[in-house]
Structure 1
Amino acid sequence: MTSQIDKIRSHVVMVIDGSGVLIHPAFGDHSYILTAKHVLETEENSGEYHDIDKITVTKINGDTIDLLRRIVSVDNDIAILITSTKLDSDLQIAVSKPERNNRVFYYGYPGIRRTLEPRDQLREYPGQINEVEGDRFSVTLDGRPLWSEIAGASGGGVFVEIGGDIFLQGIESRVEGVVDREFHGKVICTPIAMIEKIISEAGLEKIHPPAMASFIGLVDKTFRCFSQAEDPENLRFLMNQLKERGSALISANHINPLTLYEKLNKKLLVKDCPEQNLYNEELWIAYFEFLIISCLIDDVDTVDFSYIDDNSTRRRFLFSTDQENWIWKLLDIFRSDFRGLKRGGKIIVSSGDSAPKHEARSSSLERVVFDIGRRQKSEIMVDSGITNPAIDFKVYNLTGLHRFCVVDADDRFSNYYAGNEGYGEVELMALVKGLYNAYI
């Protein structure tokens, strides 16, 4: 938790007499300071806002941040300050929407602490999400602090812990109720979705991990398990050929992790896998491998959305970070979203299992057939005509297939290299196509 607190401390800033959060867009030479727009008012409730040269932003160490311009929302209590230069930041937004009863942490700089030592000025307000609406959510703060304990923290960040890391869930806007008559220790917050809307309307760079902008940066991270072969040199030519095919596949047509995230969303995840994993780089590396192998089998040279749709009717990729034996999770796998996958379709799973088998034993599948078959139809997400996904689909592990088809038989590839008659690129790709096509 210490590292999480340090992360929050390095990103929550003072904005005039309020608070804000430092975060990066995916690209560009600038950073954003997110805050509540009323923090920038020249006078309370005036609707007039300070010019950029009158706005001071201060980090926890006392350093001030130079600003370039400001964007003030018309409809929501949100403002975005654009910094003059790009600042250090490793904070990411929460992908999942706020949910009632979720635990969160609100951080800001209350006025009553402004005279303390810098490290003591920032305050944490743990709490629980209460009501959720489209453009706002409320948080009940533990201990129901008084208004005087919160004043000055407006515009601060609301953070959520997911998978051992901290993500930004929203920006605090104001206290709930009339302060001198019915304040109950609740605050109203603006969710990330509203901030993303303002960013889009203003034509600003989006906030997402840089790796999601293009598959090009992921090419060299694909097929890393090939290096675990008894003699990795046997697979060097194959790795290079697959990576070259990957680079060529996504050179056009705007196919990148971000557009696929927007198109496929939670269909990429094993049932109950945290939605935040849609921003996980490992998901997109694995999906890229899946795409390269699929295109090799289908003799496809470039990828467009039409191919993505067609491939999804025959093969379905699923991701999970769970590090346990993936076969133990078959029930969750078959409870995932398979709408659009035709009878006889193949499910290809990527998980955190470090040494997975490529497929489950028949006895393991039979147990799941019974469990799935006894469930209500509303629990199973399949097209009409599919009675039991554990019967109608085949399931494999992606890394397990790599190991079974290639890694554990690396000596089979030792004679393949460029210019070797009968053992060149064409023959190698034909061999690999046949090995994977036998399964997916």
Structure 2
Amino acid sequence: MPDFTNKIRTHVVIVDDGSGVLIQPAKGDYSYVITAKHVLETVPESGEYKDIDDISVITFSDQTIELANKFISDNFDLAILVTQQRLDLDLQTAISRPEREQRIFYYGYPKNRRSGNYDDRIREFIGKVNETPDGRFSVSLQSRPDWSEISGASGGGIFVEIENQLFLFGIESRYEGSPGREFHGKVVCISMQTIERFIIESGLEKIHPPALNSFLGLVDKTFELYSQADDPENLRFLKNKLHERAAIIGATSEVNPMALYDAYKEELLIKESHIQNLHSEEMWIAYLEFLIISCLIDEKQEIDFSYVKDNSTRRRFLFSACKDNWIWRLMDIFRSDFRGLKKGGKIIVSTGDLNARMQAREPQLSNIIANIGRGRVDGLMVDSAIINPAIEFQVFHLTGLHRFCVLENENDFRRFYAGGVGCGEPELIDFVKGLYNAHI
């Protein structure tokens, strides 16, 4: 397991006699402190809560966080505190819902550790999800701590590890049962889905990665592979012109990552990829590149959602953060969702394989074709007219496509420059369009 010490120390805080978690909304000049509302009560079990000026939030490094507002849930042991300033945070939330036997990590500041060794103030509890009633879930902690070992950690963060990264899964609410008589080490937690729903109901900004807000923030991160050219100056003019087109697409409020996420969700992922990939900035950078190349070929500059839908009937984008050789995922690729993709459609995949070739070689593809044709693959998601997707669709890796179409022809781009007679922007766009159009 990677070392998440710094991430935990940055984001888990002391909230009065309890604990809480810092997280950043997608927009706004402020941050959130998520905690259990009972730690804010003036008197335990009174249902009366402290004024915002009387609530203390202290970080691991003993910095006091100034607060601007508080929001108390009527239905759950949950409170959202809004800070006066935006903090430097990088914690993301888990998309997936709690499942039985799922391994979690619980971090908070128990009272019995606050006056001891400075570095030991935060305690880690490891456990497994036990039950998942609506809006909540219970966790069995491995060490079976009693109430005195947890007191002060209420409101602390419940985290899950996904592909070597830590994500916020919820917050701890209370010890399950009667603390004086039961010593089973179970705690009741508030799910991230409940927290996000309360944030929306309170009229607050949603919690999701900033990359989902708009493509505009991703424009300068597109086509970075072109920088691997033997002489990157050969491709500077091309890269600038593609960025200009990306900015036009990014300015289209109707077409943005959040709208695409809501419309397609797992349809954007290679089969067996973790749903958390949908929050990956790399995915949305790759999708923007896919969209730009599609628009070049289709001679579109300004687009709307109807174009996105039409494009997906001819070209289908799929993503996985997996860094392995993408050819090893061919069967997963053909088991992905291709409903609506017409016969002869092109599949463009993007993965973490930095050395990806453009297409699979014939022997690997032949094995997949045969296995599908023999009926060894269940659950194909294709239209009724499609008999074998490995025959009727072509698959290209986006990184390999960029390398084959552009990097291997970089010297041919040297002649293009702004204002050049016969070698200006129109000729450049026609040239690069032809290179990509030969394949997709």
Shift of 1:162: 1.6
Query: Hey, what does 1:179 align to over in structure 2?
Result: 179
Identity %: 58
User: Is the CA contact 2:2–2:164 (under 8 Å) kept in the aligned structure 1?
Assistant: no
Shift of 1:135: 0.8
Letter in 2 for 1:38: H
Letter in 2 for 1:383: D
Query: Hey, what does 1:291 align to over in structure 2?
Result: 291
Instruction: Work out the CA distance in 1 between the residues paired with 2:403 and 2:383.
Output: 32
Instruction: Work out the CA distance in 2 between the residues paired with 1:316 and 1:107.
Output: 41
Instruction: Work out the CA distance in 2 between the residues paired with 1:390 and 1:176.
Output: 52
Instruction: Work out the CA distance in 2 between the residues paired with 1:2 and 1:313.
Output: 41
Counterparts of residues 73-152 of structure 1 (less than 5 Å): 73-152=73-152
Query: Hey, what does 2:428 align to over in structure 1?
Result: 428
Q: Tell me the TM-score normalized by structure 1.
A: 0.95
Query: Hey, what does 1:304 align to over in structure 2?
Result: 304
Letter in 1 for 2:260: L
Shift of 1:181: 4.1
Query: Hey, what does 2:232 align to over in structure 1?
Result: 232
Shift of 1:377: 6.7
Deviates more, 1:333-342 or 1:74-83: 333-342
User: Is the CA contact 2:237–2:417 (under 8 Å) kept in the aligned structure 1?
Assistant: yes
Letter in 2 for 1:40: L
Deviates more, 1:282-291 or 1:5-14: 5-14
How has the CA–CA distance of structure 1 residues 137 and 375 changed in structure 2, closer, same or farther, with 3 Å as cutoff?
Answer: farther
- For residue 70 of structure 2, give the secondary structure of its aligned residue in structure 1: strand
Query: Hey, what does 2:46 align to over in structure 1?
Result: 46
Matching of residue 282 in structure 1 with residue 278 in structure 2: no
User: Is the CA contact 2:25–2:205 (under 8 Å) kept in the aligned structure 1?
Assistant: yes
Query: Hey, what does 1:59 align to over in structure 2?
Result: 59
Shift of 1:358: 0.9
Letter in 1 for 2:42: T
Q: Tell me the TM-score normalized by structure 2.
A: 0.95
Shift of 1:378: 4.9
User: Is the CA contact 2:215–2:249 (under 8 Å) kept in the aligned structure 1?
Assistant: no
User: Is the CA contact 1:369–1:391 (under 8 Å) kept in the aligned structure 2?
Assistant: yes
Query: Hey, what does 1:329 align to over in structure 2?
Result: 329
Query: Hey, what does 1:163 align to over in structure 2?
Result: 163
C-alpha RMSD of the superposition = 1.8
Shift of 1:72: 0.6
User: Is the CA contact 2:36–2:78 (under 8 Å) kept in the aligned structure 1?
Assistant: yes
After superposition, give the CA deviation of every residue in 1:230-269 in whole Å (9 maximum; x if it has no partner).
3322222111111111111231233222222222212121
How has the CA–CA distance of structure 1 residues 378 and 73 changed in structure 2, closer, same or farther, with 3 Å as cutoff?
Answer: farther
- For residue 353 of structure 1, give the secondary structure of its aligned residue in structure 2: coil
Query: Hey, what does 1:266 align to over in structure 2?
Result: 266
Shift of 1:128: 0.9
Query: Hey, what does 1:371 align to over in structure 2?
Result: 371
Letter in 1 for 2:285: I
- For residue 43 of structure 2, give the secondary structure of its aligned residue in structure 1: coil
User: Is the CA contact 2:157–2:168 (under 8 Å) kept in the aligned structure 1?
Assistant: yes
Structure 2: runs of 5 or more not aligned: none
Instruction: Work out the CA distance in 2 between the residues paired with 1:230 and 1:220.
Output: 20
Instruction: Work out the CA distance in 2 between the residues paired with 1:253 and 1:377.
Output: 40
Letter in 2 for 1:357: R
After superposition, give the CA deviation of every residue in 1:209-231 in whole Å (9 maximum; x if it has no partner).
22322211211111111122233
Letter in 2 for 1:425: E
Query: Hey, what does 1:318 align to over in structure 2?
Result: 318
- For residue 33 of structure 2, give the secondary structure of its aligned residue in structure 1: strand
How has the CA–CA distance of structure 1 residues 372 and 39 changed in structure 2, closer, same or farther, with 3 Å as cutoff?
Answer: farther
- For residue 242 of structure 1, give the secondary structure of its aligned residue in structure 2: helix
Instruction: Work out the CA distance in 2 between the residues paired with 1:92 and 1:311.
Output: 31
Query: Hey, what does 2:416 align to over in structure 1?
Result: 416
User: Is the CA contact 2:106–2:125 (under 8 Å) kept in the aligned structure 1?
Assistant: yes
Query: Hey, what does 2:391 align to over in structure 1?
Result: 391
Shift of 1:375: 5.0
After superposition, give the CA deviation of every residue in 1:101-137 in whole Å (9 maximum; x if it has no partner).
2211001112222322332222111011122233111
Query: Hey, what does 2:255 align to over in structure 1?
Result: 255
Shift of 1:46: 2.0
How has the CA–CA distance of structure 1 residues 326 and 377 changed in structure 2, closer, same or farther, with 3 Å as cutoff?
Answer: closer
Shift of 1:436: 1.3
Shift of 1:183: 4.8
How has the CA–CA distance of structure 1 residues 43 and 83 changed in structure 2, closer, same or farther, with 3 Å as cutoff?
Answer: same
Query: Hey, what does 1:357 align to over in structure 2?
Result: 357
Shift of 1:95: 2.0
Aligned residue pairs, count: 440
After superposition, give the CA deviation of every residue in 1:164-201 in whole Å (9 maximum; x if it has no partner).
22111101111222334445211111111111111112
How has the CA–CA distance of structure 1 residues 117 and 280 changed in structure 2, closer, same or farther, with 3 Å as cutoff?
Answer: same
